Amino acid sequence: MKRAIPTATPRQTSTQVTKSTPDVQEQIRLRAYELYEQRENDSGHELDDWLQAEAEVTQQKAKTVTA
């Protein structure tokens, strides 16, 4: 009798989780704006706000995928 070789179950990679969908981009945009407002509308940090928001949203999405 042959033994069945276990096959890997497909899982989402971080690349798949971070794919930009309109919904994800909207969440990032809203969070980046919240960060801007928290700094009392101090401009000049747009990229920092976006990257922080993107990291937060991506991390949140990754947690929901693995849960």
Name the more confident of 1 and 36: 36
Rounded Cα–Cα distance for residues 53 and 13 (Å): 20
CB 49 within 8 A of CB 35: yes
Chain segment 23-51, per-residue pLDDT in tens: 999 999 999 999 999 999 989 999 999 99
Alpha-carbon distance values, 27 to 54, 55, 61, 64 (Å): 9, 11, 11, 15
> What number of H helices and E strands is found in the chain?
3, 0
- Domains of the chain, residue spans: 20-66
pTM of this structure: 0.64
